[in-house]
Amino acid sequence: MTRALPPEAVLQAPPGPFTRWFGQGRLGFRSLSRDTLARRYALPASRWVQVMGALVHYTDEGAPGAEPLVLIHGFGASLHTWEGLMPALRQRYRVIRLDLPPFGLTGPLRDARGRIVTMDVDAYRTFVDSFLRTLGIARATLVGNSLGGLIAWDLAARRPALVSRLVLIDAAGFPMKLPVYIGLFRHALVRWSAPWLLPEPIIRAATRDVYGDARRVPESTFRRYVDFFYAAGSRAAVGRMVPRLDFDALDTGRLRAVQAPTLVLWGERDRWIPPAHAAAFAARLPVVSLRRYADLGHVPMEEDPQRVAADLLPFLDGAPQAPVPSIQESTP
């Protein structure tokens, strides 16, 4: 599905310092419809599929006969976060990206009465299982960043027969203090006010914070993150979701059940998840390689996709696949 970028979304001149830091001064009084956002941000490869009653935005590109790579983004992001890797990946693999609810062009899941579904680990388990089943994916390499990394390793531990290789990029999972811009939503006043008042400078500051060097953030990336956070229903859904994010309750001992060869990539300037967690993952995963980036932040694949691709491609090409287990898959 191809959607043209509207003229108002095109930058006519490089932004000045004030605009780069504070944007257009939007306060979030108005939300943007999914149709408006689709006209701005749908890609030539964009598709939609019904999963759990929602229209889920995804792409399916590359070599159709190859085993798929499934790329899972992090909190507040969208499938666009992988765009810099796509020229390298789509030449060799079938690459599937999706917008997790309540983010990107997918938006919140809703129940039969139209109420926003609260997303927690169990809800994401059900959603991702349903998405893969709907697309007929029985075996894949999973690549996950941040929250997407948590979803990926949890799936590899639960369903080892499905996951042939695993790539974790600044993945969540171990006990940690929530990043300040996410932790704001633990406060009742913020959850109440955010659906109609969330100043653009806060979203821009959060976007700068996930890069090791904020000067690398393109203005188009700032605009996309801001626009998606202003999407109808997204702020209310985040307000429901954040209080349920309890990393202390996760059983990371289950990482030892992961049979897939794993590559752990980590930006040492990650201000959202402690870089020490990279070694914690490596210590628990049975077959693992670890690569660190001294000058990159929480989203290395977005900040320097060429460097990440240089580590990712040899792993995908050379790592043996996990054997298909003959025993019954583990359960959560």
Identify which of 212, 70, 250, 216 has the alpha carbon closest to the alpha carbon of residue 144: 70
CB-based burial label for 40 (10 Å; 0-12, 13-18, 19+): buried
Separation between Cα atoms, residue 79 and residue 243, nearest integer Å: 24
User: Residue range 57-73: average pLDDT?
Assistant: 95
Residue 100's pLDDT is what?
98
Q: What is the pTM of this model?
A: 0.88
Give strand ranges (E) for 182-320. 262-267, 288-293
Contact 267, 113 (CB under 8 A): no
Q: What is the mean pLDDT of the chain?
A: 87
Residue 243's pLDDT is what?
82
Which residue ranges make up each domain of the chain?
Answer: 37-180+250-318
pLDDT tier at 312 (50, 70, 90 boundaries)?
Answer: very high
Which element (helix H / strand E) includes 49? strand 46-51
Residue 19's pLDDT is what?
46
Contact 261, 320 (CB under 8 A): yes
How far from 257 is each of 157, 319, 330, CA to CA, in Å?
A: 5, 18, 9
Most confident listed range (50-54, 60-64, 306-310): 306-310
Of 171-175, 227-231, 235-239, 289-293, which gets the smallest average pLDDT?
A: 235-239
Q: Which residue has the higher pLDDT, 211 or 23?
A: 211
pLDDT by residue (tens digit) across 116-154?
A: 999 999 999 999 999 999 999 999 999 999 999 999 999
Separation between Cα atoms, residue 269 and residue 22, nearest integer Å: 23
Query: Six-digit token pair at 95?
Result: 């690459």
Q: Which residue has the tokens 């004030």?
A: 18
Of 30-39, 55-64, 268-277, 302-311, which gets the smallest average pLDDT?
A: 30-39
Q: Which residue has the higher pLDDT, 282 or 331?
A: 282
pLDDT by residue (tens digit) across 168-195?
A: 999 999 998 887 777 676 656 665 555 5
Q: Which residue has the tokens 């030892």?
A: 256
Contact 62, 95 (CB under 8 A): yes
Separation between Cα atoms, residue 280 and residue 175, nearest integer Å: 11
pLDDT tier at 72 (50, 70, 90 boundaries)?
Answer: very high
Separation between Cα atoms, residue 247 and residue 114, nearest integer Å: 29
Query: Six-digit token pair at 108?
Result: 């919140």
Separation between Cα atoms, residue 222 and residue 20, nearest integer Å: 8
Beta bridge partners of 166: 142, 262
Per-residue pLDDT at 90 exceeds 80: yes
Contact 258, 230 (CB under 8 A): no
Q: Which residue has the tokens 């990440």?
A: 308
Secondary-structure class of domain 37-180+250-318 per CATH: alpha beta
CB-based burial label for 215 (10 Å; 0-12, 13-18, 19+): exposed
Q: Which residue has the higher pLDDT, 275 or 241?
A: 275
Contact 299, 272 (CB under 8 A): no
Residue 183's pLDDT is what?
65
Residue 227's pLDDT is what?
94
The count of residues in the chain is 332
